[in-house]
């Protein structure tokens, strides 16, 4: 999760570029990012 977040927001890679690096499709990267960001939001809202 951290690796994907880092590549997307620190390295500013596109989902397609992340997919190429990880050997997965852009759609899979999209789903992973969505899941990661949802967990981050929930953690921030609950103060975890």
| Residue spans of alpha helices (H) in 1-48 | 2-5, 15-22, 26-46
Q: In terms of residue numbers, what domain contains 34?
A: 2-46
Residue 35: give its domain's CATH number.
1.10.10
Residue range 2-47, pLDDT digits in tens: 999 999 999 999 999 999 999 999 999 999 999 999 999 999 998 6
The predicted model scores a pTM of 0.86
* Angle subtended at Cα 5 by Cα 32 and Cα 23, rounded to the nearest 5 degrees: 55
Q: How many domains are there within the chain?
A: 1
């Amino acid at each position: 999760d951290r690796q994907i977040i880092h590549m997307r927001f620190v390295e500013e890679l596109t989902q397609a570029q992340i997919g190429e690096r990880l050997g997965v499709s852009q759609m899979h990267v999209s789903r992973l990012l969505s899941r990661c960001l949802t967990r981050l939001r929930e953690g921030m809202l609950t103060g975890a």
